[in-house]
Structure 1
Amino acid sequence: MNTRDAFALTRAAGATLTEQLASQFAERIRQRLLAPGARLPSVRDCARRHGVSAHTVVAAYDQLLAQGLVEARRQRGFFVRESQRAPASGPHVAPAAVAAEVPVRVAPVDATALIRGMFHGVSHLPAPGLGTLPPDWLDLPMLASALRRVLSHGDATLALQYGQPAGDVRLREALATKLADFGVRARSSQIVTATGATHALDIVSRALLSPGDAVLVDEPGWAVEYARLTQLGMRLLPVPRTADGPDLAVMATLAREHRPRMYVTVSVLHNPTGHSISLGDAHQVLKLAEAHDFFIVEDDTYAHLAPAHLPRLAALDGLQRTLYVSGFSKILTPSWRVGYVAAPPSLVERLIDVKLLSTLTTPAVLEQAVAHCLEQGSLRRHAERVTARLDAARHRSVQLAQAHGCRFVTPPQGLFGWVDTGVDTESLAQTLLDEGWLLAPGHLFHATRRPSTVMRINFATSQDARFWQAFGRGRHPSS
């Protein structure tokens, strides 16, 4: 089987091998599938990978240099050129281990490379680096039925007008009932809807933060959140993530030294490690937040894939200084951009104002369709089916990963596995992209760029033996 159609060179083409190779790299750079700062394969590796001479590769890299797409660094190789460097007064990142050190600048570009790879559809193959469930795992009849129900039995004029500022009342009431399952007590008046959980996080950040504010974040953590906060001008304070939650000693030091305004965390089925916070650590985090007067933003995006009994900070805190964010892209469909934030009553109007300025309102038809799925129990039944299927996929993916020499850094749980491959995963990701496989290398999940042998895999899309065969070839290219 030949899967190299994603990056194939042919001597029968109208362009020379040099031109083809340069064109392929140029296209990936322009699409940001290769992010600024990424290192191109060495001349030897690239020549071996594509079956061409070293002279052909050098000539192709020279063309990229001439186009201003890459830069040569003496005795280090070729790197994708930074298209726009951060200004001298730009945002900073404080190293977690030594809180008092001078912060280091960071350019939030890697997250968009992964996202663009998802949207471009690198190939027809499953994407082990994807952050969502495969389409064939989703319940299209359930979605279609919910939409028909809303449009035929509800108020059809919903599709012809703006939604309500805080979000559809029916959905907010259904969400208040759902949140009680997790122990989060919120009235419908405390809930503001958004166009997905990411938008909800953005609303919270814009409402509560100002440029230059310090924000505590988990590390490893979600690359998109690092990038989003940095672009808003915040100073990131990475806190190492342990099996029980954030490293409390580091968090206490950072809080004392930098006076953070907020802590953003995925407390349950953490992305990428799969860890969930322990009850004891959750209490300690809340005590630190009270002592140092910062908000906690709890991103519970994977709530539908997790046991309801796991501790939620918002439940323990009673939504006093905690804001609870979630959505439905991980369980219903990524295309229904329905998310929400449950907040302390004193913050609700401020959140609504920011929402109105960013999107005016949110689509009432989709919000009522989600409400229907919640009210009828169809979402709960679908989540139970998905969770059972995910358990089986996780078991198979773990077996395949271990059979190919990988070690799980953390116990496999939830949607993602945090896997040590033993090789540089940024380079490995480029190699496998040539064969049509999209990876999520470990450096994406750190606030500052660093080499990593770890990658995040999606258990639902990593159970294909063909991927692990390609992984084996990429990991041991000379074998």
Structure 2
Amino acid sequence: MTPTIALDPQSDVPLVRQLHEAIAQHIDRGAFAVGARLPSVRELARECGVSTMTATNAYQRLVADGYAEARPASGYYVAAAHRAAQQRQRPFLGRTAVDSLWLIRRVYEDDAPLLNAGAGWMPPEWLQTDAVRRAMAALSRKQSTPFGRYGSPHGYLPLRQQIEQLLAARAVQVPPHQIVLTHGATQALALAGRCLLQPNDSVLVDDPGSTNLFATLRTLGVRLIGVPRRHDGPDVPALQALAQRYKPKAFFIMTNLHNPTGTQCSPANAYQVLRLAEQHDFHIVENDVMAGLEPPGATVLASLDRLRRVIYVGGFSKVLSPTLRVGYVAASEDMVDKLIHAKMSEGLTSSEVNERLVYTVLGEGRHRAHMARLAQRLAGAQAAVCTGLSKAGLQVFAQPEGGPFLWARFPSDKVDAAVVAQSAVEAGVLLAPGHLFTPSQKPSPWMRFNAAYANNPQLFAFLARWIKDNRP
């Protein structure tokens, strides 16, 4: 007899994830015996009121997690017990502390038992994965696809022409020859750092800011100087004082849908940042990897500056598919020459195959509608997570107007979020403690949350219980 599986179509948790987790729980409890045949795809879809595609995707995830195995022309079967047990235990083996290295390693693993409430990306179901599959099929059929040669140092020209149009819609006027394609936005940021900085230089960064960016810049041997982030952007008086004191060469900033606070730079704040860059002679590297998800009227530094001091970085991994590591950087002609040289010396050209795939997806004509749906879905999730965190006892820095990230803190300054994160792992929740997002890495009561994953009663219950149990 098939155990009952109850799904909630009104939940923000995708049906495929609900179905996957329900079957995994039944296997854990022994409701499905080892080696037993699971319901057929059609049977499962009919009993649960979902599409056969949803049922198939749930089974494929169970196979990837070691819970099930697929037998051709036969169906899906419960995998051997030791395989499932090994998969469930793997995230916890050898763990010593939830530090930056642990986080970077673990968050990119597909660990189904962990609720990844602090993730840095969207759920696969929210992305254009079907469009990527169609693009791959179409590209594989083309005889002219250049699988046997390197691409252009600048990157695939038709995609750069598409990016020119995307940037024009954001009032950033830049011709294709001033756009360089990269292996993801991370490489774009690293190349900008190599072109602007020397060992022992001072460089300004958002505080809090991206832990991955901090790690990238530290490999250059530079000194990171944190600029406090406010609700409307960088703290301008603090920025001025730091620029006078440290004589920085650059300021790496996320203007819109800031990671981790989710905040926006106001127009007045943006103008002040550009004025200080001119006054103190430093470049600005503007990280805009969430472009297209921001609220209407958002300020773009590259638009105001016209790429004189601003180097603009964007990418597609966050909104299309993380498997497509395609980013780009737009800059002045002189800076582009330096970026091309740095790119070629580091790893030659970027992947033209990936660039052609992105070009095909964007040219399909559905990308704008996808971005609108994604932005709306994130806005709804943001509101729900802000409410859930507040009810659990946390204080939200600011309710974001879009994007996945939000920043919240425990009521007491004495709370070390890293300690909470360690306890959360034991409860099956992966959190992102605040010290990882500050250059100083000092203990912090703050945490980053991803609204696309964090709207979950399991998370809110854990936080409320932890606060209650640790109240002074």
Give the alignment partner of residue 249 of structure 2, picking from 261, 273, 277.
261
Provide the C-alpha distance between the structure 2 equivalents of 1:185 and 1:150, rounded to a whole number of angstroms.
30
**Among candidates 117, 124, 131, match of residue 135 of structure 1:** 124
TM-score, normalisation: structure 1: 0.76
2: CA distance, partners of 1:242 / 1:403 = 24
Indicate whether 1:458 and 2:450 are aligned: yes
Distance 1:297 1:256, change over 3 A: same
- In the aligned structure 1, how far is the partner of 2:270 from the partner of 2:210? 20
Q: Using the alignment, how far apart are the partners of 1:451 and 1:317 within structure 2?
A: 37
Instruction: Supply the distance in 1 between the matched residues of 2:92 and 2:111 (Cα, whole angstroms).
Output: 14
In 2, Cα distance between equivalents of 1:134 and 1:263: 31
Residues 255, 444 of structure 1: CA spacing in aligned structure 2 closer, same or farther, 3 A cutoff?
same
Contact 1:239 1:250 in 2 (8 A): yes
Pairing of 1:74-473 with structure 2 (within 5 A): 110=100, 112-153=101-142, 155-156=144-145, 158-307=146-295, 309-413=297-401, 414-422=403-411, 423-473=415-465
Between the aligned partners of 1:291 and 1:478, the Cα distance in structure 2 is: 48
What's the CA shift for 1:233? 0.6
Letter in 2 for 1:290: E
Task: Supply the AA of the counterpart residue of 2:404.
Answer: L
Q: Specify which structure has the bigger relative contact order, considering alpha-carbon pairs within 8 angstroms and separated by 6 or more residues.
A: 1
* Structure 1 stretches of 4+ moved >6 Å: 1-5, 23-26
1:55-97 residue CA offsets vs partner (Å, 9 max, x unmatched): xxxxxxxxxxxxxxxxxxxxxxxxxxxxxxxxxxxxxxxxxxx
- How much has 1:263 moved relative to structure 2? 0.5
8 Å contact kept, 1:441–1:455: yes
Which one-letter code corresponds to 1:176 in the other structure?
E
Aligned length: 384
User: 1:340-395 deviations in whole A, cap 9, x for unaligned?
Assistant: 10011111111011111222111112111212222333221211111121122222
User: CA separation of 1:195/1:308 partners in 2, compared to 1, >3 Å: closer, same or farther?
Assistant: farther
Letter in 1 for 2:459: F
Q: Aligned AA for 2:313?
A: V
Q: Output one character per residue of 1:154-182: Cα deviation in whole Å (capped at 9) or x when no partner.
A: 732x2222111111001111101100111
Shift of 1:148: 2.5
RMSD after superposition: 2.4
Q: Which amino acid aligns with 2:337?
A: E
SS in 1 for 2:150: coil
Separation in 1 of the partners of 2:441 and 2:274? 30
- Indicate the SS of the match to 1:473: helix
Task: Give the fraction of aligned pairs with identical amino acids, expressed as a percent.
Answer: 38
Amino acid at match of 1:406: L
TM-score computed with the length of structure 2 as normaliser: 0.77
The 1:434/1:347 distance shift into structure 2, 3 A limit, reads same
Gaps (5+ residues) in structure 2? Answer: 1-21, 30-89
**Which residue of the partner structure matches residue 59 of structure 1?**
none
CA displacement at 1:150 relative to structure 2:
3.1
**Residue 153 of structure 1: CA displacement?**
4.5
